[in-house]
Amino acid sequence: MDKFLVIDGNSLLNRAYYAFGGRGDVGELSFGGIPTNAVYGFLNMFIKAATDLKVKYVCVAFDMRQPTFRHQMFQGYKANRHKMPEDLAVQFDQLKDILKTMQVKIYQCPGYEADDIIGTIARQAKNVNVINLTADRDGLQLVAPNVELHLTKTGVTNLDVWTVDRIQKEYGLSPRQLIDVKALMGDKSDNIPGATGVGEKTAVTLVQNYGSVEAVIEAGVNKKVNDSVAMVKLSKKLAEINCQVPINFALKDCPFIFPFDDNVKHKFEKAGFKSLLRRNLWVSGSTVVQPIAPLFADVKDESKTIDDAVVPVLHKMSANGVKVDMVALDALGTALEKDIATLESEIFELAGETFNIKSSQELIDVLQRKLGVTLNKKTKTKTRYSTNEEVLTRLAPTVPLAAKVLEYRGKYKLYSTYVRGYGNAVDLEGLIHTTFNIDKTATGRLSSSEPNLQNIPQRKVDSDRFRQIFVSRFPNGKILSADYSQIELRLLAALSGEPGLIDAFNRGVDIHRETALKMFGDPERRRDAKTVNFGIIYGISSFGLAKDLNCGLYEASNVIKNYFRTFPKVKEFLDLCVSSAKQNGYISTMFGRRRYIRELYAKDNNVVAFATRAAMNMPMQGSAADIIKQAMVKIDHEMTERGLKSLMVLQIHDELVFDCVPEEINVVSEIVKRHMEGVVNLPVKLEVNISVDTTL
C-alpha cells in the first residue's frame, strides 16, 4: 500500500530550530543576515523521511497565529508557553514559500491546531498507510491500523516509531484511551490541568482498570479524581484531537514530487543551503524552469464523481455473476491435460532424459550439459543464468527443446490459471462472482480479481476456447458483447486535434488502410500501419517497432518519423504530455483524473523510458476508462428504470458483456449502443461493435 507522510509543521520546525543552534538571535546558520537554521533542519528531516520511507504522498499542517477553540474553552490553555523567538517566527513564511515551490500541499485552518488538521487527514485518507511525523506525543491517540506515529527523539533524524501493537504492549491500552490518560494526569506543556496530584502511572492504571475517564469518575475509586471531576472532564475535551476540521482534503492533491525541479534548486541557492545543493536532489541543471500549464488545467476533476457513481453498478455486476458451462470447462481441461502430457513426452525425448520441466535450474542444466546451449548473462558482479520467456524465445528458432518448453509453459498456464482457477471459483448455481476493483490501476482502469475475468487469453485460438465456457443463465438466452472500436486511437485524434485522423474516423474509413496510404503510399500495408497506430499510443520506441515489424532499427526509426510528419499534431500533443508531466509531476485525463509520474526523474534510463510511455498513454487510456464507467452508469440506470431482466455481467477494458433474455436482445442492444456512443461529446465519433451469441 502507498505511503502518505503527514508532517506537523510547527512541531518539526520548532525542533529543528533548537537542534541547529537556535538561541533567540541570528545563529550560525543564516544567510545574508536572515536566520535559516530551522528551515534547513526541517528540510533535512523532510527529505530524509520522505525518501527513506519511499512515500507517494506528503503534506504539511501548520497552526495559525490566533486563538483556537481550546482557548475559548479554557483561557489558561498553553498560557505558560514562552513567546516564540523572533528568529524562529520569521522562518515560518520562508519555509512555506519553499514548500510551495516544492509543490508540497500545506493545510491550515483558523481556530484549529496542526494536530487537529493531522487527525482529520489521517481519518479521511483511504487506501494508504499514513505516517504522522512530529515531535509531539499528542499524536499517539491518532495511531490506527493504517496510521503510524514517527516521533523525533534527538535532533531531527532519530525517530521513535509507534504503532497500535506497540501502544498496547507498552501501555496496555488502545491509542484512543491515551486521551483519558492525559485527561487524568494533565499536560504541563499545554497547561492542561488534569486531576491534581495524579501522575502518569496512576492515570494509566485507572484507565486500564476502568476503560475511560467517565468510568473512573462513576466508580469514585480515586479521591484525587473525585476532587477534580470538572477539571478532568474539561481536560479530556482539551486533550482530544478534533478530527473534523473543515479543510478541503484530497489525497490526489498531495503528491511527493521527487527529484525536485530547478525552481527548488534556485530557492535553496537563495537560502544558502550548500549541503543540500551538493546532494543529488535535482532533475537537471541550475536554470529556473518556466512552468508549463498542466494538460486539461481548466477541466474540473470529475474522476471522484465518476468512480463514486460506478461503484454500485460494480457491486451489482459482481452479485449477478457470470454463468459457466461446466461441461465445456471440463472438456477444455481434459484437452489441455492431453496437450500438456504430449508436450512433456516430446520435451523428454528431445532432452534424452526426464527432468522437472517447471524447475528453471534443472532446465538450465539440461540445456547446457546435454545440448551445449549458452545461457550465461554476465553482469558486473556475477554470471547469471536464465530460462525466462525472452531467453527461450531467442533460442526457439534453433533449439527445438526451448520452443517446446515455451509451448508447455503456455498450456500449463492456461490449465492452472483458467481451468483450475475458474473451476474453483464457480458457486453451486454455476456462477463466478468476480470482484471489480476501482482503485488498483494508475490509469483509472477497472480491474478484476478472485478470479480475474479480464485476462482471458488474447490469442485467437486460446480466446475462442475460453470464451465458449461463458454462457447465458436464461433459457435460450444470449450473451451480448459491446466493444468500443479503437477508442484510444480515436481519443488520440480528438485530444491532439490532428485533422488527418479526425477526418478519417468521421468519414468511417478503415483507419489503418488510410494510415498506410498516407504513410507508405500503399493501403495494402494495413498491418504495418496498424502496428504503428497502436504503438504510437503507447510511446513505442524504434527498437520496439523494429521488433514488431521485423525490420531494422534504422527503418523503424524512419517509420516513426514518417508517422509524425504525416500527423504532426500527434507529435506536438505527445511531447506536451511528457513536458507537462515532467514540470507538474502528473498527467491528467480529459476528466481531470491525475496520474503522478515521478519516475520521469529517475537515473535509470529504462525507468525513464517506461515513465515517458506512461505519460504519453495516460490521457487516452485513462479517458477511455472514465468514458466506459460513465456509460455503465447510464446503461444500468435505464435498464433498471425499464425493469429489464437482462443483466450487465462483465467489463473487460473497452468491452461490456450482458446476459440477455431472448425477448430483450434488441432493446438492450439499442440502450447499450446509444449510451456507449453518446456518453461524451468529442470531435471524433465513438463507435461500438455489438455481437450476440450463445457464448461469450
User: Residue 383 phi/psi, 5° resolution?
Assistant: -100, 125
CB atoms within 10 A of CB 615: 25
Rounded CA separation 439/58 (Å): 19
The model's pLDDT over 387-436, given as tens digits with 9 standing for 90+, comes to: 888 788 888 888 888 899 999 998 898 888 888 888 888 999 999 999 99
CATH homologous superfamily of 489-618 equals: 5' to 3' exonuclease, C-terminal subdomain (1.10.150.20)
Average pLDDT in the 92-98 region?
94
By C-alpha distance, which of 218, 150, 215, 149 is closest to 180? 215
Please give the CATH topology (third level) of the domain spanning 3-258: Rossmann fold (3.40.50)
SS3 state of residue 36: coil
CB atoms within 10 A of CB 390: 9
Provide the CB-side half-sphere exposure for 373 (13 A, CA): 23
Q: How many residues does the chain have?
A: 696
- Let me know how many helices (H) and strands (E) the chain has, helices first: 30, 21
The model's pLDDT over 616-670, given as tens digits with 9 standing for 90+, comes to: 999 999 999 999 999 999 999 999 999 999 999 999 989 999 999 999 999 999 9
In this structure, of 100-109, 472-481, 581-590, the range with the lowest mean pLDDT score is 581-590
Q: Which three cell numbers stand for residue 379?
A: 553482469
Provide the CB-side half-sphere exposure for 464 (13 A, CA): 2
Query: Terminal CA-to-CA distance of the chain, rounded, Å?
Result: 35
Q: Which three cell numbers stand for residue 496?
A: 491532439
**Distances from the Cα of 357 to the Cα of 340, 341, 416, angstroms:** 11, 12, 15
Strand partners, 150: 133, 161
Position 153 scores a pLDDT of: 74
Q: Which amino acid is at 308?
A: D
Average pLDDT in the 190-210 region?
92
> What are the residue ranges spanned by the domains of the chain?
3-258, 322-432, 489-618
pTM score > 0.85 for this model?
no
Rounded CA separation 359/107 (Å): 54
608 falls in which pLDDT band (50, 70, 90)?
confident
User: Residue 148 phi/psi, 5° resolution?
Assistant: -110, 155
Position 379 scores a pLDDT of: 39
Rounded CA separation 472/495 (Å): 39
Position 380 scores a pLDDT of: 41
The model's pLDDT over 275-334, given as tens digits with 9 standing for 90+, comes to: 788 777 876 543 444 445 566 766 678 888 999 999 999 999 999 999 999 998 999 899
Asked whether this chain's domains 322-432 and 489-618 adopt the same fold, the reply is: no
The answer to whether the CB of 286 falls within 8 A of the CB of 400 is no
> Exposed e or buried b for every residue in 300-323, given b needs 16+ CB within 10 A?
ebbbeebbebbeebbeebbebbbb
Please give the CATH topology (third level) of the domain spanning 322-432: Taq DNA Polymerase; Chain T, domain 4 (1.20.1060)
> Exposed e or buried b for every residue in 367-380, given b needs 16+ CB within 10 A?
beeeeebebeeeee
